[in-house]
Structure 1
Amino acid sequence: MTKPRAFGTIAQLSCPTRFWGNATAVNDELAPAWLPWSAVDPDLIAFDWNDEESSQLATVIASMVPPAGAGWEERHRFTTEVTALLAARYGRWACGWHWAVGEGGGGGVVTSWCCTSHSVGESAATAAKVVASLLEWRDWLEELAERFAQLAPPAGADAEEHSWHLERATTRLVTVVVDRTGAESGWYGLCRTVLTWFLSSTGMCLETAKNAVDAAIGGRFKSWTAPSRTLVDGVGEDLAVGLTGEKPYRDR
């Protein structure tokens, strides 16, 4: 496990010019769906957390909340600046803190946050939502890491066995994403990301993983529609066959 980057107190990062200086291009590099698994893998990126850190973070976030009656642009700027601050302090993995369930959140898994319009309000309450959302997102990444390790094809597996493990992993991961997102608006975006991360965790290069997942899903997942068991199984088999050239055997 890598050591966390050295920072002073979080209050030292409260100035916008400071955290913009520590963050890379927000549009390109602080969107969780675009991050490689290596940037979010909790086994590689340590996360030191305690009551003092929680309190300091909440205080800084509260000081950034726009005043009551602020318009959409100011609220949006607040969430963007919070994302940059969290990424600067904890790593780019933290940019998924507001990838929330439903249309307003972009089809993610976070439930402590809704969207800019409904989640930005009184300063202390808003800060508490940000902290809860960050921890919820971290828990999701840690859960994924555990699932990936359990579902990874064993070393030395032949093509047929490898195919079986890939199909099993795909169907189980899709099912988990459907359950956590409620198959609401845009849920398939998170599903695509999770499957890409899984393949990357096995050592596959990012572009190969992305292309394989896109080909297997083929635009068949839709917003507000939970996929049928047949469709999930079909995507799993298509991904496995596309990567191994072999159909999974059925005797396990």
Structure 2
Amino acid sequence: MVPPEADRAACPDRMAGFRFTYEVTALLVSRYGRWTCGWDQSVHHGGPVESWCCASDSVGEAQETAERVVTCLLEWRDWLEDVAERFERLAPHPDASAEDQSWHLERAVTRLVTAVVSSTHASSSWYGLCETTLTWFLTSTGMSSEEAQKAVEVAIGGRFKSHVAPAPTLIDTVGEDLAIRLTGRGFYRER
């Protein structure tokens, strides 16, 4: 599936590279499942994968490219497993009071945003993975994906920017906004 060198060099619109990543993704999904869809989410483009840049820079000879794809897939899997473990630790208990739920949500946002910033180096469009991660977290607690996505969009509200790590106070504000929106209570305000 590696595009010939001539195709990569002669394709200024990068279509050969896009076809390559699409075909590799389709192969990985068919073999291992949907979780593989982020294998090429490079830190250069807002993802946590260090071993991939883009097809034009990362695709080489067939064996070298295959090894790089495997390395990237393993990096992506490690990141997903880390995030899943964080979700388990950060989730509020289903029977928690509104105040406790609010506290857990604020804490989860702070820790998850910080983890995404660290993994992506706050590079180009890092906030996309942040929104996705927070949405996944909320859906892991039982919220519908539509509700979770809307709540995250409102809480972030365009406040995160490419190539800029958010200040801790901004992360805290986003966490508080999300918690209040979802629980109607602010942990720190109520005590």
Say which SS state the counterpart of residue 162 (structure 2) adopts: coil
Aligned partners of 2:29, 2:176: CA distance in 1, in Å? 37
Say which SS state the counterpart of residue 123 (structure 2) adopts: coil
The corresponding residue for 2:40 is 98
Aligned partners of 1:98, 1:120: CA distance in 2, in Å? 12
1:209-220 paired onto structure 2 within 5 Å: 209-220=148-159
Aligned partners of 1:66, 1:77: CA distance in 2, in Å? 9
TM-score, normalised on structure 2?
A: 0.94
Cα deviations by residue, 1:109-147 (Å, 9 ceiling, x for unpaired):
111111011001111111111011111111111111100
Preserved CA contact (<8 Å) 2:2 2:65: yes
Give the letter aligned to residue 249 of structure 1: Y
The corresponding residue for 1:153 is 92
Aligned partners of 2:68, 2:122: CA distance in 1, in Å? 23
Greater helix share, structure number: 2
Preserved CA contact (<8 Å) 1:161 1:249: no
The corresponding residue for 1:185 is 124
1:56-95 paired onto structure 2 within 5 Å: 64-70=1-7, 71=11, 72-95=14-37
Say which SS state the counterpart of residue 98 (structure 1) adopts: coil
Residue 249 of structure 1 deviates from its aligned partner by 3.0
Residue 101 of structure 1 deviates from its aligned partner by 0.6
Percent sequence identity is 63
Say which SS state the counterpart of residue 60 (structure 2) adopts: coil
Preserved CA contact (<8 Å) 2:42 2:48: yes
Aligned partners of 2:172, 2:160: CA distance in 1, in Å? 13
Count of residues in Structure 1 that have an aligned counterpart in Structure 2: 186
**Mean Cα deviation higher: 151-160 or 181-190:** 151-160
Preserved CA contact (<8 Å) 1:217 1:235: yes
Query: Which structure 2 segments of 5+ residues have no match?
Result: none
Aligned partners of 2:182, 2:189: CA distance in 1, in Å? 18
Aligned partners of 2:178, 2:125: CA distance in 1, in Å? 21
Give the letter aligned to residue 246 of structure 1: R
Residue 93 of structure 1 deviates from its aligned partner by 1.1
Task: Give structure 1 regions of 4+ aligned residues with deviation exceeding 6 angstroms.
Answer: none
Give the letter aligned to residue 175 of structure 2: G
Query: Which structure 1 segments of 5+ residues have no match?
Result: 1-63
Residue 179 of structure 1 deviates from its aligned partner by 0.6
Residue 78 of structure 1 deviates from its aligned partner by 1.2
Aligned partners of 1:76, 1:209: CA distance in 2, in Å? 30
Give the letter aligned to residue 152 of structure 2: V
Give the letter aligned to residue 5 of structure 2: A
- The Cα RMSD (Å) is 1.5
Residue 250 of structure 1 deviates from its aligned partner by 7.5
Cα deviations by residue, 1:159-204 (Å, 9 ceiling, x for unpaired):
1110000000000000000011110100000000000000000111
Say which SS state the counterpart of residue 249 (structure 1) adopts: helix
The corresponding residue for 1:198 is 137
Preserved CA contact (<8 Å) 2:99 2:190: no
Aligned partners of 1:169, 1:251: CA distance in 2, in Å? 19
